[in-house]
Chains A and B, each alone.
Chain A
Amino acid sequence: MGKYEVFKNAPITEAVLEVVVLPSEGTNVESLLPFHEPIKERFPKIEQGKEVRGGFKVGVGSASFVEEKPIGFIFRSHQENKVIQARVNGFAFSKLKPYENWEAFRSEASDLWKLYSYIAKPQKILRISMRYINRIEIPLPLRDFAEYILTHLQIAPSLPQAISQFFIRFEIPNSEIPAMAVIIQTIENVTDKNRLPLIFDIAVLRENEYPVDSPEVWIDFEKLHDFKNDIFFSSITEKTKELFR
């Protein structure tokens, strides 16, 4: 058994593993299309991936400086619960719920990455990252967030403790790997079952140059996964774990 409990009803709504690369000279969107051939049985749905960039304008009127640029392809599985983003500058694999376990996710991501790197032939890897978005449905009434989550927003005790919405984002560096965690929390509207959905989004990333076929990449992914787990499991309480069992 691993260091941390594997839950029957894990709150993970999406797990993403991403590798950002320096593309080879001449790599373009069309040159990524052969990536689809060997996976089209499993990922039959294909669409173009686009990047929207530009400045935005606040106030009357809509965005003033927006442009769309094709950057790759998005491939979806039959049930659309697995999605690959093959871009000129990288590769990402998403697994939507239900999430099974890290070993299965990593294994599939690793196979798909090998295929991507064979087709795209990038010069080197620039960044690796993974992101886990959790949706924790907290039963109401709730007296204190700390009953369920220990990494949370704190309001001065002299102020009213009722809040209707929040969105917080913070970064936690880890000098040992070294890596950075980007954590976001927000709440959704109360559900029909009188539960408050807390979105707990944990992304961990390491900016480092690796050769494309370096086994060190997957060693570092393990470290990032441990870092992500440390953040998640240190942030939840026994009461929260009960929700997932």
Chain B
Amino acid sequence: MNYALVPSTKHDLSACPAISEEAKLLKIRAEQLMADYYKPLSTRWANPAIRFFDLKDEWERDTAMLSSITDIAMHPAYQHIIGIGPVAVSFILYEMSKKPNHWFWALKSITGEDPVPPRAKGNIEEMTEAWLNWGREQRYLP
């Protein structure tokens, strides 16, 4: 090796938004490269998005037949998602926007907030809407 390695000063070095066929090919190849890179578990779980969606799938699969909210929230995958911390908030809110589910415990644990008005407690649709509104106000959601 006859070149020196110097640190990159910026992290966002996405180049100009090109549109030619060659640019599309480069984009596909880069995506394939990223997919290959994230196949091993060691790199896969370093990415919080992949980690979140892996855990979410596991949680949904294992708790589909449960009715106890305590059992649902105490599932190891759910607790692991709480452990991801603030990075998981936007993923959770995005999931809630697609399908209401028992994410309230996790959101409350991570953020320390509770935007659900007392009258909405127990109503999953209204609780979801309250959290989604909070997410928009906090700019977690567009």
Contact = CB atoms under 8 A, between A and B. Distances in A.
Given A14-B22, A67-B94, A131-B18, 19 more contacts: A14-B19, A56-B34, A56-B35, A57-B53, A58-B35, A65-B49, A65-B53, A69-B142, A92-B16, A94-B18, A96-B20, A130-B16, A133-B26, A171-B8, A171-B13, A173-B6, A201-B26, A205-B15, A207-B10
Interface residues on A, range: 35 or more
5 contacts: A55-B50, A55-B52, A57-B53, A67-B142, A184-B26
A23 to B, nearest CB: 16
Contacts of A180: 8-10, 13
A52 to B, nearest CB: 11
A199 B53 CA distance: 35
Contacts of B54: 57
A203 interface: yes
A203 B26 contact: no
A205 B91 CA distance: 32
Contacts of B22: 13-14, 133, 135, 199, 201
Nearest to B56: A64
State the main secondary structure of chain A at its contact with B.
strand
A64 B53 contact: yes
Interface of B: 6, 8-10, 13, 15-23, 25-26, 29-30, 33-35, 38-39, 44, 47, 49-50, 52-54, 91, 94, 142
A130 B16 CA distance: 6
Interface of A: 13-14, 16-18, 54-58, 64-65, 67, 69, 83, 85, 92, 94, 96, 129-131, 133, 135, 167, 169, 171, 173, 180, 182, 184, 186, 188, 199, 201, 203, 205, 207
Given A65-B91, A69-B142, A133 B23 contact: yes
A184 B22 CA distance: 11
A55 B49 CA distance: 5
Contacts of A96: 19-20
B20 A13 contact: yes
Contact of B16 (A13, A54, A69, A131): A131
A188 B26 CA distance: 10
A133 B18 contact: yes
Shortest beta-carbon contacts, A-B, top 8: A55-B49, A203-B15, A14-B20, A131-B16, A16-B16, A18-B16, A64-B53, A167-B29
Given A67-B142, A96-B20, A199-B26, A58 B13 contact: no
A126 to B, nearest CB: 11
B70 to A, nearest CB: 27
